[in-house]
Amino acid sequence: MIRIALTTGEPAGIGPEISVKAAEIFLKENLDVQIDLIGDRSLFKEDLHDRLVTQDTPLKAKVVPGHLDKLNARYVLNTLDHAIDGCLGGRYDAMVTAPVQKSIISESGIKFSGHTEYLAEKCGVPLVVMMLCGRPVFKSDLLPKMLRVALATTHIPLQDVSKNLSIDLLDQTVEILNKDLKTRFGIEQPTIYISGLNPHAGESGHMGMEELDVIIPAIKLMQEKGFSIVGPLAGDTMFSPKNLQKADAILAMYHDQGLAPFKFATFGEGVNVTLGLPIIRTSVDHGTALNLAGKNIADVTSMLAALEMANLMARNQSGTSSS
C-alpha cells in the first residue's frame, strides 16, 4: 500500500476543494493507495472515500473563502510539518502539496519564500532543485510525452540571477537532477539540455560573459564526470521540438526562462517536483486562486497530475508496480 500525505494549502483558497476532488478521482483508479488529507476537518465534506483519511490540523481563525487571514499562517506551516515529519519517519511514501499564499505567511512575521525553500530547510538539505513536469497539450509526434524543466535559480529577483550562478551551483544542480531522473523517474542514462543566460547564449561574449565564465566551464566539468549534457543553448530556441525530443530534462538558468514556455505547453497540467530531498514531494503548478474559492468550480487537473506523479515516483524508488 502506497501512502501519500496531501497538504491542503491556504484554507481561504482552492486548495481544500481541489485536494478532496482530485484525491477521490485518483483513489477510484488506484486501489492500493491511501491518501491522508492534512488540514482542518471543517474544510472537508463528511462522506469521504474510505482510503481518504483526514489528519485533523486545527485552524487558528475562521475561514472566509477568498479572504486571507494571517492568523492562519502558522496553521498552513503545521500541515507541511506534519507531512514532512511523516515522510522522514517512513509513515508516508510521498507528499503532495496544495498551493499556499507566500505573502500572507510573510505578513504574519514568518520568513517564508516558498515550499521549495521551506522543505530544504526542514529536511536539512543545502540545495534542492525545482523541476516542473507535464504532458504537452499540443498533440504532435514532434513533441515528447513528458516535458521536464528544472531551474538553476528559483524565487529571486531577475537582477540577482547572474551573481547567484556559479560553476559549483550548476555542477551540484546537475548531480541532483541526474540522480533523481534515474532513481525516481526510471531514466537509465538521462540527457540534460542546459540553457545559456543571455540572448543567443551570450554570442561568444558579445552579449554577456556568464556563458564563457560560468556555464560553459560547468558543462565541461559535468561532461568530464560522464554526464550526458548539451549546451549552452539560446533561450529562444531551446524549446524547439527537435531539442525536446532528445532531452530527458531541460535546465534553465532562471524561473521565467524555463517556466513561461513550460506552462504555455502544458496549460495547467504541470506538476512541481522538488528534487534533492530525502523525501518525495510534488505539487500543483498554480496558485491559490482566491477568486475561485468557495465556488466549487476550480480545475483539479494539476492536483490530479501531482498525485499521479507522486505515486509513480514512489513506486520507481521502491521498485514496486501499480495495481
Q: Mean pLDDT for each consecutive 10-residue tract of the chain (323 residues)?
A: 97 97 96 97 92 95 95 96 97 97 93 88 94 88 89 92 96 96 94 96 89 96 96 93 93 95 86 95 93 94 95 86 55
What pLDDT is attached to residue 144? 86
* CB-based burial, 210-226: b 16+ in 10 Å, e otherwise: bbebbbbebbebbeeee
- Within a 10 A sphere around the Cβ of 166, how many other Cβ atoms? 13
* One-character DSSP codes across 180-247: HHHHTT--SS-EEEEE-SSGGGGTTTTT-SHIIIIIHHHHHHHHHTT-EEEEEE-TTTTT-HHHHHH-
Q: Are residues 221 and 235 in the same domain?
A: yes
The rounded distance, in Å, linking the Cα atoms of 227 and 175 is: 9
What pLDDT is attached to residue 322? 57
Q: How many domains does the chain have?
A: 2
Q: Are residues 174 and 83 in the same domain?
A: no
The rounded distance, in Å, linking the Cα atoms of 150 and 249 is: 7
DSSP state of 153: S
Q: Are residues 197 and 245 in the same domain?
A: yes
Q: Are residues 194 and 245 in the same domain?
A: yes
Query: H/E element holding 94?
Result: strand 94-97
Q: Are residues 165 and 264 in the same domain?
A: yes
Instruction: Give the model confidence (pLDDT) of 236-288 as tens digits.
Output: 999 998 999 999 999 999 999 999 999 898 887 889 999 999 999 999 988 99
Q: Are residues 22 and 93 in the same domain?
A: yes
Cα-Cα end-to-end distance for the chain: 10
The candidate with the shortest Cα–Cα distance to 10, out of 60, 76, 74, is: 76
What pLDDT is attached to residue 138? 81
**Residue that finishes a domain, picked among 257, 276, 295:** 276
The candidate with the shortest Cα–Cα distance to 295, out of 90, 65, 44, 50, is: 65
Beta strand 129-134 pairing with 33-39: unpaired
Q: Are residues 264 and 135 in the same domain?
A: yes
Please report, rounded to a whole number, the percentage of residues in the chain having pLDDT higher than 90: 84
Q: Are residues 181 and 255 in the same domain?
A: yes
What pLDDT is attached to residue 321? 58
The rounded distance, in Å, linking the Cα atoms of 292 and 299 is: 10
What pLDDT is attached to residue 320? 65
Instruction: Give the model confidence (pLDDT) of 199-236 as tens digits.
Output: 998 889 988 899 999 999 999 999 999 999 999 999 99
Q: Are residues 71 and 209 in the same domain?
A: no
Q: Are residues 112 and 171 in the same domain?
A: no
CA atoms 120, 126, 132, 133: torsion sign: negative
What pLDDT is attached to residue 203? 87
3-state helix, strand, coil in the chain (%, to 5): 40, 20, 40
Host domain of residue 114: 1-125+277-323
Q: Are residues 177 and 249 in the same domain?
A: yes
| CATH assignment of the domain containing 321 | 3.40.718.10
Is 293 within 8 Å of 16 (Cβ atoms)?
Answer: no
Record the cell numbers describing residue 155, joined without a space.
524565487
Record the cell numbers describing residue 143, joined without a space.
513533441
Q: Are residues 76 and 201 in the same domain?
A: no
